[in-house]
Amino acid sequence: MYPLIQRSYRKMMMMMMINGHHYQRLLSSSTATTNYVLNEPSEPNIVTAEIPGPQSRRLIDDLNKIQNAGAIQLFVDYEKSIGNYLVDVDGNTFLDIYSQISSMPLGYNHPALIEAVKDPRNISSFINRPALGILPPKSFNDQLHSALLSIAPSGLNEIQTMACGSCSVENALKVVCFYYRTWQRGQPPTEDDMLTCMTNEQPGSPKLSIMSFMGSFHGRTFGALSCTHSKAIHKVDIPAFDWPIADFPRYKYPLNEYSDYNQREDDRCLAKVEDLIEKYNRKAIPVAGMIIEPIQSEGGDYHGSKYFFQQLRKICTKHHVAMVIDEVQTGGGPTGKYWAHEHFEMDQPPDIVTFSKKMLIGGFYYRPMFRPDKPYRIFNTWLGDPSKLILLEQVVRVVKEQRLLERIAETGDYLLDHLKRIQNQYPSILMNARGIGTFCAIDFPTPSLRDQTIKQLHRNGVHCGGSGSATLRFRTTLTFEKHHVDQFIERFDHTLRSLSNNK
């Protein structure tokens, strides 16, 4: 009898309650997969007259007494938030298309992650954070393979974990410089290198440069800021390196109507890249590496074409410039592939790919020749957090079992079709609908109109955010589906109608 009971148990639908959330867990004996169905709200629900509500405003005022709280939008009740719906401390329920600045892979309180946290076998990893560079846990190698290397970009089979996106970029750029100087010298650092680096002098502290692109965002730490060119408030008052800044293409939309113009724009930007490499070589500040986003995410959701990135890869190879693709915001699946640069089909992989956000842990993949040749060259106390790898293992499993990348690609097509349709309804307000997967964006004619729209969308139950100066960006979870798109479009249309009527 027992096997029969066991088989019946595996097929039945079980209702579970964890942290106040009900969800359905359906086990399939034929596929050995687990399909979780979150009991999300049927729609957003705003219960306060203003956003933020009174409880949020009180907490913001309290926080402002001990730190600058000017960027705070809301205080959130994370226990009540679920799936694609964010609940604030005032009880307002929002459809969330921002997902913590693109960092929530499966949404709020996903049962697979809750189960991982509740598993007694994982308790040690959650309470004992190790100094990974010297004392990793016994499960670390297996976790790297199952969580990170199983989804590594093609051609990049080595990995370094980090705590966040900015430190991933910082250390990736250090690796670039190590590699370049070893190639330049033809040997490890000399005694003279070791002595002069201590006083910030050459040759131990060489004059090298990293190329970046106007409109880019790579982080707010010191070195990353010299590669960041999106918002002045990030950079003002901070000393910067003399590093080259190239132009990133600025296309006209619809792309098929402006193909000639956009091709010329690609070629103009590519020529500028080569000119800058040669210019900095003449200045004796050679370009050791180039860092670029597949989509300029904070700077305004600017896209580069497949041709543009294919040619950049060739330029980097030609001039012995390391190509670093920054996938902190685009990585982890929102474009319908784990890595946005894979859409470009370059003839060689990038040399380094940085990640964080939806990956739940920071770090970078790299080609074998970029491995540092000495211990402690890439090092800090934590070098990431193994407990995040436990969660990422579950994310990777759910993404694979539920075909979430294929589904997000389909949802993204559906979203973009609706954005183009509503753009045609409001041609004086909306323009340049674009995107890959659900990593979409649409522009407004002025920053003030964009900001006004975002505030009104908040009042209408959609939590969202902007990029660049006048862009509404979409940063959904991987569980975002077509019915969520329908909810957004209905509220977007209502918002635009009210703004049009108030002109």
Active site residue 217: yes
Active site residue 357: yes
Nearest Cα neighbor of 350 from 307, 378, 318, 314 is 314
**Sign of the CA dihedral running 462, 413, 308, 211:** positive
- What phi and psi, each to the nearest 5 degrees, are found at residue 20? 85, 5
Amino acid at 202: Q
Is residue 330 exposed (0-12), middle (13-18) or buried (19+ Cβ within 10 Å)? buried
Give me the catalytic one of 80, 337, 357, 358.
Answer: 357
Give me the catalytic one of 33, 190, 317, 381.
Answer: 381
Residue 243 · residue 226 · CB < 8 Å = yes
Active site residue 11: no
Which SS3 state, helix, strand or coil, does residue 369 take? helix
Give me the catalytic one of 94, 217, 309, 492.
Answer: 217
Residue in this structure with the two tokens 């004992």, named with its chain if needed: 128
The secondary structure of residue 139, as a DSSP letter, is T
52-80 as b/e: b if 16+ CB within 10 A: bbebbbebbeeeeeeeeeeeebbbbbeeb
Active site residue 326: yes
Give me the catalytic one of 88, 326, 385, 443.
Answer: 326
**Cα–Cα dist 492/156, whole Å:** 41
The secondary structure of residue 255, as a DSSP letter, is G
The three-point CA angle 154-160-163 to 5° equals 120
Active site residue ranges = 217, 326, 357, 381
